[in-house]
Structure 1
């Protein structure tokens, strides 16, 4: 079994290539749908936390695995990661474990690469201003992913912790060799933003962002919100937006914004399109962005397995990671 930690995964990933891998995979899903049972959730009421168990099988690539991920928001005040877990890849022919990967690192890369794929398809401008709400791992991953597909103008970060925003802005300014600014008010981050990435642990049904705060043609990648009731953006905003999701059924069950918009009849299910509509071989009118657009990612095990298999292949080829054979001892 190959063990791949955060650093190993980072060495195995080239973001523009991963975006194309995910695009090709979603094209293939229309021909042979992945087998993905509903994910199991165990809540930990004392810690106000939960754990997710997400298996998947991809027939085309013969990829089999499961992701286990736990979200403990209280870890942040202790200086620990709020998200922890592992992805296990399993050999279909023998059933033996091929690899165990850090799920937090894989999830951050997978989620940001999906946002980059949707942004690349919908936002055709060569230079874009970016606002990121949140200052954690997903915030960093999204800024890096957006920079991989577009030239960025203004890059602004807002979070509840100015210190964390400043630290992230300083680090990414060096890594990306361009200015990244931490701002004290969310309104300052959203002003003139062409792309807005919400990467928070917000848990309230009262929305963080209202439609009046956004440019009329802005694009939103909404990936945060720590509960099924949480609304990072106003559900009423969806009534005037082009809506895409990573998986329709999962988004309707697990996104607070979409669930409320459906309950209030702001939108119907037919108004929601999966990202497969953006990656078909023959472009359709739906891919031409007009006005506001919104992408909600709730995560899907099929995408985790696509990325895990890609990382595993690169690791084997590059002799990256640590072999562990204790199960066969």
Structure 2
């Protein structure tokens, strides 16, 4: 990324045009195998009348001499993102933000990218990357729990890695599930809505959750043999998407060690004694580097908990710039 160029502003539409799901999954895998440095994120709570908001600062940079493992050139970046749960009632996405990208050798600013859109892409592709190692190769039936902005990205990302032939969308508000299902079906995807979450989960090979639920939605008793549970929402310790039984029945993996202490589900279960810390089998670093075994067999239930990682943002931002 060396050389003098003007600062570029990259809106959502250009991000969409620069990325594909298989290619970004590959870029994230390379990022987890490489030497991207990602310090602990800054996490701040913001009191608001319609629900406390969160401000996150997530820096990362490519390691010296190792940039070729993840991208052409080197880079420094930081994502500044906020999560305002009350935005849904205002017709706005809960996640807002920008991504700042600079040259890794000189620090010269190169681009400011739409942070919300970049987050949707990288979050969905991180889950799909985990599914590459954890979901059954013949998974055909998917359930999408939640119908927010992330849901269509998760559906497409998972479909890029597994032969998904049917997707069922469930949402607390059935009308939102129906609306999203109709839109995606109109685009040619095999999607339908359902109001019976238990029945949908019981027949699913892959269950992906992206909600802000404060109580478990998916019960461990519902998971069939060989199912893969993808937990993406529940970003703080007050939230849950699956119960302790789901975690106890599953081989549990996380994106990064941060998920052991922050975010819902895994961190909450460890804190409250629902599972032992040792029950968590590994993370994306170990899976991508071949240091940790993934799925143990066709009958094994697997679970992935994502809290997000700054290295994913940097790898995604660099992928966007390569694709422009």
Whole-angstrom distance in 2 between the partners of 1:254 and 1:102: 25
- Cross-structure match for 1:277: 286
SS in 2 for 1:64: strand
CA deviation after TM superposition for structure 1 residue 197, in Å:
0.3
1:208 to 217, 237, 248: 217
The 3 A distance-change label for structure 1 pair 293 and 304 is same
Asked if residue 255 in structure 1 is aligned to residue 259 in structure 2, the reply is: no
- Cross-structure match for 2:242: 233
- Cross-structure match for 2:58: 54
CA deviation after TM superposition for structure 1 residue 73, in Å:
1.7
- Cross-structure match for 2:3: none
Range that drifts further, 225-234 or 39-48: 39-48
Higher helix share: 1
Range that drifts further, 129-138 or 89-98: 89-98
After TM superposition, the structure 1 = structure 2 runs for residues 121-160 of structure 1, keeping only pairs within 5 Å, are 121-160=133-172
May I ask how many residue pairs the two structures share in their alignment?
A: 307
2:113 to 101, 104, 117: 101
SS in 2 for 1:256: coil
- Cross-structure match for 1:6: 12
Contact 1:36 1:57 in 2 (8 A): no
Map Cα deviations across residues 13-42 of structure 1 (whole Å, 9 max, x no partner): 1111111111122112xxx35132332324
Map Cα deviations across residues 106-140 of structure 1 (whole Å, 9 max, x no partner): 11110111111111222233342000000011111
Whole-angstrom distance in 2 between the partners of 1:199 and 1:243: 17
- Cross-structure match for 1:162: 174
SS in 1 for 2:140: strand
CA deviation after TM superposition for structure 1 residue 213, in Å:
1.7
TM-score (norm 1): 0.87
Whole-angstrom distance in 1 between the partners of 2:206 and 2:294: 19
CA deviation after TM superposition for structure 1 residue 279, in Å:
1.7
Whole-angstrom distance in 1 between the partners of 2:76 and 2:277: 30
TM-score (norm 2): 0.89
Contact 1:236 1:261 in 2 (8 A): no
- Cross-structure match for 2:206: 195
The RMSD of aligned alpha carbons is 1.9
- Cross-structure match for 2:4: none
Whole-angstrom distance in 2 between the partners of 1:193 and 1:79: 31
Map Cα deviations across residues 36-69 of structure 1 (whole Å, 9 max, x no partner): 2332324233342222111112213232111111
The 3 A distance-change label for structure 1 pair 264 and 299 is same
Map Cα deviations across residues 88-108 of structure 1 (whole Å, 9 max, x no partner): 101233322111111111111
Whole-angstrom distance in 1 between the partners of 2:296 and 2:124: 22
Map Cα deviations across residues 188-236 of structure 1 (whole Å, 9 max, x no partner): 331311000001121x2x3122111221321011001253221100023
